Structure 1
Amino acid sequence: MKIGIDQIAFATTPYYLDLVDLAQARDEDPNKYLIGIGQSKQAVVPPTQDIVTLAAQAASQLNLTAANISTLIVATESGIDQSKAAGIYVKQLLGLSDFIRVVEVKEACYSATASLQFARGLVALNPAEQVLVIASDIARYGLKTGGEVTQGAGAVAMVISANPKVLSIEPVSVNYTQDVMDFWRPNYATEAMVDGKYSTNVYIDFFQTTFHRYLEQTGRELADFAALAFHLPFTKMGKKGLESEISERDDELATRLRVNLTAAQLVPREVGNLYTGSLYLGLMSLLHHGDVKPGERIGLFSYGSGAEGEFLTGILESTYQAGLGGIALDQRQRVDLATYETMFKQHLGLKSTDVTFNVDADPSRFVLAGLKHHQRQYQVKE
């Protein structure tokens, strides 16, 4: 029985910052960001958006049959509560059935892949069920920090089912986990702590380890892949991963893999870091812009700092376009540096006092209206 991604959709905030503006404000050469990091724009998060509203925005684009959704899993490293799953708010905003299982999963940027695999197991037990997996995150490193250019925000929502329209996940995958301090965020911090150069080296090592173990276990080779999709905290990271495998090659296969990586980078370089959703936004970008055909195999490398990696594969289905959501970035509003910095500082974060936000300025359907008696207040704008 085939099990995999039946539908997939993406949402981000209504605002973005052009990284040329950021470079000029930080007295940097714009090419350090545009070429060195591989990013052009990043999503800017108003105080009226968080992982709940972004998750609901993404999932609302799916064709959901509430009675068929048995489980909702939200994968995030931007949790808003130490006890209550963010998905319960999402479930309410989407109007899903009360007869549903809702949980939150965390392991840095890797947890969306873990959630996908958990979902496959649930569907295998009952093929009539569908599982809604949402990767939703806000990447924050702080103003005027080294990681500022790799911020971003957004959510990718996926329906996992039997006989999927988009991508059938193959049964063999390779997991690899080590206790590594390359990136972390203590409970008392709203911005992450990262050792960037070390993290890049760990990422490449984990890719090489999982990919080559996969080849050993399956007897497959590089030529069996039409594309390799990578976790993309910034798009240059994916290039480093791919080149670690094919840097000595200049043949037709290597050219195609490079072309498809570029296709997978197109949308992420306009949005920034999605943490848990970055791999799957890259997959969406690949399916929209790349050279991949039904029946071909796509490799996916998932990585989460701390650290955990997984290499998994999927076969593209002939019906993939029917389950592939659109990517509408043209409707976003460009903001200047002052507006970006103001919105960054308005983030609800660890505040405990009541606050009310002006939701009229946010064109999104789902908004965070504020905090009252330590409870987040959400609204659905019709």
Structure 2
Amino acid sequence: MKIGIDKIGFYAPHLFVDMNKLAVSRNVEPEKFTIGIGQEKMSIPPITQDPVTLAANAALEVLDEKDKEAIDFVIFGTESGIDSSKSAGVYVHDLLGLNPYARVIEVKQACYGATAGIQMAKGHIALNPKSKVLVLGSDIARYGLDTPGEATQGAGAVALVISADPNIMALEDQSVYFTSDIMDFWRPVYSDKAFVDGKLSNEQYISFFSKVWEQYKTKSGLELNDFEAICFHLPYTKMGLKALKTVLDEGSEDAKERLVANYKISTGYNRNVGNIYTGSLYLSLLSLIEQKDDLAERSRIGLFSYGSGAVGEFFTGILQPNYREHLYVGKHNNLFSARKEVTVPEYEEIFQQTLPTDGSTVNLDINNDPASICLSGMDDNKRQYVNKVK
């Protein structure tokens, strides 16, 4: 039985800041941001968007009534969750009107959370072939204003429907995963901003990729030439290229050229959104399959997932016949074209807006937020959500 990605949706906030302008305001050469780390725009979440609404908006565009009835497991991968007890997925489950006879959980392991969700989903579908699982990867990356990590911030979410006989990608059985206790990136419960040892994190990312790649080749019998493309977790778009370059010499000249060209295409969406943590790998995959018109059916795509702290995994998928008929390219093009640029001072003002932490009531103006699902305020320590189309 084939199990894999049946549908994939994406959402990012309607606001962004231009990285050239951010660089100038920080007295940094623009090329450091646009070429050095490979970012052009950074999504800015207004206070009316949080990881719950981002995920719900991503899923809203792809789910139909049959999906809502068949989904009996919701797995919400995030490292910027809003509650230490209640799963963010429970809010999404209600906002989308999903089947009440469902499991709903939240999983956390830095940027690896959505991948963990997909692997759990495969097991669930194997036991329940008629079921569908909604896997969400939703995050807001925050490092602080004028900090070394500022240029690698971002916000957005990816929603994946995992099912038997998938329309887009069948996930192959072989995968390799690796864990080691490393303090390259962390966010204590008392902080709304992450801490990172950038140099160490870059080194460990490449080291983990090397370990799982070597083991994967031994386990699967496949080699670099067998891949049409490899998609990477992208905290910034140059990171995956650094890892890819470490293995390019294993392939033929045609394979090298193909993999580098497809890697560039796979970074297109991420380059204009920024880091979305748990969703970054799948935004890269989405960019590849939506922007490369001649990507052949039955192509094998490699996927490298990395979550600081750290867990890494390499696994693969096969694109299914007529997979392009099940993509939402037009909707995503419209999402990008409708975004509004904010100035650096406006971005800084938005960044510093926070919700109350003392139980007080606040009502937020959602009229300027074009999203279908928004955070409308807080009352008695409870977030209030609105689905404008429900």
What TM-score do you get using the length of structure 1 for normalisation? 0.98
Report the Cα distance in structure 2 between the residues aligned to 1:115 and 1:141, rounded to whole angstroms.
25
Which residue in 1 is equivalent to 2:26?
26
* CA shift for structure 1 position 350: 5.2
1:22-64 deviations in Å (ceiling 9; x for gaps): 0011011000000001000000010000011101100001133
Report the Cα distance in structure 2 between the residues aligned to 1:157 and 1:27, rounded to whole angstroms.
37
Written as runs of structure 1 = structure 2, the 5 A alignment for 1:90-169 is 90-169=92-171
Report the Cα distance in structure 2 between the residues aligned to 1:99 and 1:6, rounded to whole angstroms.
21
Report the Cα distance in structure 2 between the residues aligned to 1:192 and 1:4, rounded to whole angstroms.
32
From 301, 310, 318, the counterpart of 1:307:
310
From 348, 358, 382, the counterpart of 1:341:
348
Report the Cα distance in structure 1 between the residues aligned to 2:355 and 2:306, rounded to whole angstroms.
28
Q: Any stretches of 5+ residues in structure 2 without a counterpart?
A: none
* CA shift for structure 1 position 292: 2.5
Alignment-mate amino acid for residue 31 of structure 1: E
Secondary structure, counterpart of 2:122 in structure 1: helix
Which residue in 2 is equivalent to 1:80?
82
Alignment-mate amino acid for residue 311 of structure 2: E
Report the Cα distance in structure 2 between the residues aligned to 1:62 and 1:340, rounded to whole angstroms.
30
Alignment-mate amino acid for residue 224 of structure 2: L
Alignment-mate amino acid for residue 295 of structure 1: R
Report the Cα distance in structure 1 between the residues aligned to 2:356 and 2:44, rounded to whole angstroms.
15
- Please state if 1:8 is matched with 2:8: yes
Written as runs of structure 1 = structure 2, the 5 A alignment for 1:330-369 is 330-348=337-355, 352-369=359-376
Alignment-mate amino acid for residue 206 of structure 1: F
CA RMSD of aligned residues (A): 1.3
Secondary structure, counterpart of 1:191 in structure 2: coil
Report the Cα distance in structure 1 between the residues aligned to 2:281 and 2:210, rounded to whole angstroms.
17
Does the C-alpha gap of structure 1 residues 203 and 92 become closer, same or farther in structure 2, counting only changes over 3 Å? same
- Please state if 1:47 is matched with 2:50: no
Matched positions, count: 382
Which residue in 1 is equivalent to 2:239?
237
Alignment-mate amino acid for residue 42 of structure 1: M
Contact 2:71 2:132 in 1 (8 A): yes
Q: Any stretches of 5+ residues in structure 1 without a counterpart?
A: none
Contact 2:3 2:162 in 1 (8 A): yes
* CA shift for structure 1 position 338: 1.3
1:301-348 deviations in Å (ceiling 9; x for gaps): 000000000000000101211332332301100001111111101133
Contact 1:366 1:380 in 2 (8 A): yes
Alignment-mate amino acid for residue 292 of structure 1: L
Contact 1:354 1:370 in 2 (8 A): yes
Does the C-alpha gap of structure 1 residues 217 and 201 become closer, same or farther in structure 2, counting only changes over 3 Å? same
Alignment-mate amino acid for residue 218 of structure 1: S
Secondary structure, counterpart of 1:339 in structure 2: helix
* CA shift for structure 1 position 356: 1.9
Runs (4+) of structure 1 exceeding 3 A deviation are: 247-250, 349-353
Which residue in 1 is equivalent to 2:195?
193
Identity of aligned residues (%): 49
1:228-282 deviations in Å (ceiling 9; x for gaps): 1000010000110111111687811100000000000111000000100000000
| More moved, 347-356 vs 294-303 | 347-356
Report the Cα distance in structure 1 between the residues aligned to 2:384 and 2:29, rounded to whole angstroms.
41
Alignment-mate amino acid for residue 293 of structure 1: A
| More moved, 39-48 vs 240-249 | 240-249
